[in-house]
Amino acid sequence: VSSSPPSTNPIVVACVRLVPTMMVLNSQDDVPIAGPAKVRSSSSPPSDQAPFQEQEVLSWDVAMGPRKEGWQRLTMLPPTMARLALNGVGTVGAVAGYTVGKCGEALGAGKAIDSPAFQASFRAWMWANGIFPEVQYEPLGEEMGKFVAQELGLARPPAASDISITPVLVSNHVSVLDGLVLASTFSAPKVVAKSKCKHIPMLGKLMKESDAVFVDSGKSDSRHTTLDAIVGHCREWQPGQRPLLIFPEGTMTNGHEVVDFKKGAFVAGLPVRPTIVVYTGHFDPANTTYKMTDRGPRKVGPVEWARQFWGHYIHSVHVRVLPPYFPSPEEKAYPQIYAKNCQELMASELQRVRSELYKRSWQQSAGRTGGGMDYQCGDEVRTASRHLSSFFASLGCFGREC
């Protein structure tokens, strides 16, 4: 997937350069194929794209969600202009929040990146860019809570919202936005990134303050170095400390599947906290190689992605945090088995979460087949019409006088 920046804003550029590099190096294996499901691309691409030969396309590498096409592209200009204005304001606010945090750090109030001022300003910057995450922590349950407390030596069961009870967070990987969303949701967890990322303006400094693990990908032993860095973090980690965020798929998918995990997140044999990311807006930000169209899969590049991102007002995303996954003795001894079992769990949970979100969405209520799960103009009328139709049908009066 290309990592070309979809924006000229320095923060967006820095984040887009960084996020695709996170945790792609945490295994010695190639990116696996997820199951037998495949689609075959058409050999007749749209006129605005270069032709490419007919080939098999992996189903998880095709964005299936909504995007503005045809005449709808005319509506992309107003949100783009609004985003340009708000982005500038949000960036100034983020810099101001960081400055306040640095002043607090000088007075002994902790790192600037952990300060309420910076975290609030960072969320405000995300809102200025139309990124609105919601997070839901699934309850640990009485038995799991007691087990976690016993394993970690805690006086009482931790809260479900405490993400510092495992050394590693593992998440499915859909978009370059994932890193921003999870950094905001989890208050800047550690990441593993290429060493060159430390030189990115602003973001490199923030990564250093969050104790990011930098790896020189240019060296022949970079994969082993990454594994050593993950194991080192896990050995030094103590309950209550900043966890390490890893995308174990090692690539980005369409958000409808979870492909095979690489073993890097699991080599230490310690518990992980599974996290599910689902985008529910009217733009599917999946950074896949292809997108689905009426004429089959078509290649899509970073420029098209950027146009769609800037051409929508809202980018809503649901983050579902599952209970901690504690490995069995066999899983501790064999990271490949640990990775496989965790992947199967998260693949199943992804389908459950997507189903739950759809059942309570405006899309389902209005009976729409297109667009995202969020509200779309006219949904209240469509919903009322469906309810009235169902009511009259239940009376046996639909289509005739009672």
pLDDT values of the chain reduced to their tens digit, one per residue, 402 residues: 333 344 445 444 444 444 444 433 333 333 333 333 345 433 333 444 444 444 678 999 999 999 998 888 999 999 999 988 998 898 899 899 989 998 998 998 888 888 999 999 999 999 999 999 999 999 999 999 999 999 989 999 999 999 999 999 999 999 999 988 999 899 878 887 777 777 777 777 788 888 787 777 666 677 788 888 899 999 999 999 999 999 999 899 999 999 999 999 999 999 999 999 999 999 999 999 999 988 889 999 999 999 999 999 999 999 999 999 999 999 999 999 999 999 999 999 999 999 999 999 999 999 998 889 998 889 999 999 988 888 778 777 545 555
Q: Give me the helix-helix angle, 177-185 and 116-128, nearest 10°.
A: 140
Q: What is the pTM of this model?
A: 0.81
| CB-neighbour burial class of residue 128 (10 A; exposed 0-12, middle 13-18, buried 19+) | buried
Distance of CA 372 to the CA centre of its chain: 16
Q: What is the pLDDT of residue 399?
A: 52
For residue 272, the surrounding DSSP H or E stretch is strand 272-279
Cα separation, 336 vs 328, in Å, equals 13
Pull the structure tokens for residue 165.
């009870």
Cα separation, 112 vs 125, in Å, equals 16
Within 10 angstroms of residue 248's Cβ, the number of other Cβ atoms is 27
Cα separation, 178 vs 140, in Å, equals 24
Q: CB-based contacts of 48: which residues, under 8 Å, 6+ apart?
A: none
